[in-house]
């Protein structure tokens, strides 16, 4: 996992590299530089910041606190272009999966999941993914590139606008879409800071979760940030033999290395690490797995999300029966573990991560 030639390390195209500068996704410093380049006072960047991220305006004509001549110059010389939704599929359960086209034509997915008065947005951090988990449609794509902080932020702004999310209403972000966020932590944290800013979208750190397949150096690095998002581990196996078979990352950082990294992770009072566990019938869902899961989860403050597999073509896995899911749930909760069953929302809309983007990209199963 070291070396200079990894494809995901290649710099993603800057959003402004294809023509005029694009203000969408710029942070405060970049907006100040933009204002300086137009010979404007730095404090105007505050208006831009609030307009872009608090009001989520998508047209310079909305920035009425700026003078008309400045608005005209912005209109002529600076783009305000977020990732474009090129396909949306609405599920019976109310969630919507969106395919976003980035400025270079790359397609990634995001999911909007409404709950009473709030929304959870599932975000992508990369175009494709290098991790190769065998149960995952994105894993089959391989890795194309990292997303920039602006492109990650753009998924949020575009989904909130598309769904007319009221300004100030709660939003949860989960990095559980395409990509391994720890392979792109600099840009993920750039988007986190932008979205966390109280003058912007103002999403509190506790409402943001990064899910990793188990990159120990990334876990250690995340623990050094203040503030930082919450941590989730996509566990999905309780023995090294089983986990390595479905998650190649386990051959580098095995369960013991993971448990040690999670035990050392600096948690705040009351904070817990989420263990996500995809239930694959006959592969990861035995009662013996359940007992080993209890032992793993007890090594640090944790809670468990059981995720019955969302079937999709070409992977050859199935979800367990409802009765068996109940049995596992009772086994875990009977041992004092906090457990919930997370139904993969949007099962009728190519809901598993990567399916819609692969379809848009014309990839075969
Ligand atoms: S499950 Fe996550 S880490 Fe694994 S291949 Fe899919 S996107 Fe990558």
Q: Is the domain of 328 the same as that of 222?
A: yes
- Dist. CA 270 → ligand 1 center (Å): 28
The verdict on residue 70 lying in a domain is yes
Q: Is residue 10 part of a domain?
A: no
**Total-model pTM:** 0.91
> Which residues are the active-site residues?
109, 353
The answer to whether residues 70 and 89 belong to one domain is no
**Residue 117: predicted pLDDT:** 87
With a cut of 90, say whether residue 3 has pLDDT above it: no
Residues 165 and 281 in one domain: yes
Q: How confident is the model at residue 364 (pLDDT cuts 50, 70, 90)?
A: very low
Question: Is residue 5 assigned to a domain?
Answer: no
H or E element in which residue 33 lies: helix 28-37
Say yes or no: CB of residue 131 within 6 Å of ligand 1. Answer: yes
Is 11 among the domain residues? no
Report the nearest atom of ligand 1 relative to the CA of 213.
3
213 CB less than 6 Å from ligand 1?
Answer: yes
* Residue 202 exposed, middle or buried by CB count within 10 Å (0-12, 13-18, 19+): middle
In a domain, 1, yes or no: no
For the chain, the distance separating the N- and C-terminal CA atoms, rounded to the nearest angstrom, is: 27
Question: Does 8 have pLDDT greater than 60?
Answer: no
Q: Is residue 255 part of a domain?
A: yes
Average pLDDT across the chain, whole number: 91
Lowest pLDDT segment from 161-175, 303-317, 328-342, 345-359: 345-359
- Shared domain for 154 and 231, answered yes or no, is yes
pLDDT for position 343: 74
CA of 145 to the centre of ligand 1 (A): 14
| Same domain membership, residue 69 and residue 113 | no
Q: Is the pLDDT of residue 287 over 60?
A: yes
Same domain, 236 and 117: yes
CATH number at residue 330: 3.20.20.70
Whether 179 lines ligand 1, by a CB cut-off of 6 Å, is yes
Q: Are residues 355 and 318 in the same domain?
A: yes
Are residue 69 and residue 196 in the same domain, yes or no? no
Ligand 1: which atom is nearest the Cα of residue 136?
6
Q: Is residue 48 located within the same domain as residue 122? A: no
Question: Which residue segment(s) compose the domain that 155 sits in?
Answer: 84-361
Q: For residue 23, tell me if it sits in a domain.
A: no
**Do 294 and 239 belong together in one domain?**
yes
Binned at pLDDT 50, 70 and 90, residue 345 comes out as low
Instruction: Compute the average pLDDT of residues 32-58.
Output: 96
Number of helices followed by number of strands (H, E) in the chain: 11, 12
User: How does pLDDT run across 108-147, given as a tens digit for each residue?
Assistant: 999 999 998 899 999 999 999 999 999 888 888 899 999 9
- In ligand 1, the atom with minimum distance to the C-alpha of 177 is 7
173 lines ligand 1 (CB under 6 A): no
Tell me whether residue 53 is in a domain.
Answer: yes
Ligand 1, atom 4, residue with closest C-alpha: 133
In this prediction, residues 250-262 reach a mean pLDDT of: 98
Q: In angstroms, rounded to a whole number, what is the distance separating the alpha carbons of residues 324 and 58? A: 48
Give the burial class of 362: count Cβ atoms within 10 A of its Cβ; 0-12 exposed, 13-18 middle, 19 or more buried.
exposed
Sheet (strand 118-122) strand order: 84-90, 96-101, 107-115, 118-122, 171-175, 208-212, 230-234, 273-279, 302-308, 339-341
Predicted confidence band of residue 19 (pLDDT cuts 50, 70, 90): confident
How many domains are there within the chain? Answer: 2
Provide the pairing of β-strand 118-122 with 126-128: unpaired
Domain end (from 77, 93, 115): 77
Question: 46-92, pLDDT tens digit by residue?
Answer: 999 999 999 999 999 999 999 999 999 999 999 999 999 999 999 98
Ligand 1 atom at minimal distance to the Cα of residue 176: 2
Is the CB of residue 177 below 6 angstroms from any atom belonging to ligand 1?
no
């Amino acid at each position: 996992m070291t070396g200079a030639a990894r494809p995901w390390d290649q710099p993603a195209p800057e959003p402004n590299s294809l023509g005029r500068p694009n203000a969408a996704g710029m942070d405060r410093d970049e907006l100040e530089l933009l204002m300086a380049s137009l010979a404007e006072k730095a404090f105007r960047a505050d208006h831009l910041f609030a307009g872009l991220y608090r009001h989520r305006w998508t047209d310079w004509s909305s920035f009425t606190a700026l003078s008309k001549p400045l608005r005209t110059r912005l209109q002529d010389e600076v783009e305000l272009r977020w990732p474009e939704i090129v396909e949306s599929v609405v599920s019976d359960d109310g969630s919507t999966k969106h395919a976003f086209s980035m400025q270079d034509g790359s397609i990634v997915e995001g999911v909007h999941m409404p709950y009473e008065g709030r929304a959870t947005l599932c975000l992508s951090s990369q175009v494709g993914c290098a991790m190769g988990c065998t149960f995952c449609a994105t894993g089959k794509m391989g890795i194309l590139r990292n997303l920039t902080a602006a492109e990650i932020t753009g998924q949020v702004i575009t989904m909130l606008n598309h769904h007319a999310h009221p300004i100030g209403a709660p939003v949860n972000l989960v990095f559980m879409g395409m990509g391994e966020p720890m392979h792109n932590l600099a840009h993920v944290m750039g988007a986190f800071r932008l979205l966390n800013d109280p003058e912007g979208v103002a999403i509190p750190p506790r409402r943001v979760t990064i899910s990793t397949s188990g990159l120990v150096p990334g876990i250690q690095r995340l623990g050094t940030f203040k503030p930082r998002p919450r941590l989730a581990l996509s566990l999905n196996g309780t023995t090294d033999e089983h986990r390595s078979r479905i998650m190649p990352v386990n051959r580098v950082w095995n369960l013991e290395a993971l448990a040690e990294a999670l035990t050392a992770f600096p948690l705040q009072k009351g904070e817990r690490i989420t263990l996500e566990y995809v239930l694959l019938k006959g592969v990861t869902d035995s009662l013996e797995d359940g007992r080993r899961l209890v032992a793993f989860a007890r090594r640090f403050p944790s809670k468990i999300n059981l995720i019955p597999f969302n079937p999709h073509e070409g992977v050859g896995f199935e979800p367990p029966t409802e009765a068996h899911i109940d049995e596992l749930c009772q086994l875990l909760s009977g041992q004092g573990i906090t457990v919930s069953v997370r139904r993969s929302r949007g099962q009728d809309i190519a809901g598993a991560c990567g399916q819609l983007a692969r379809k848009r990209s014309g990839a075969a199963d």
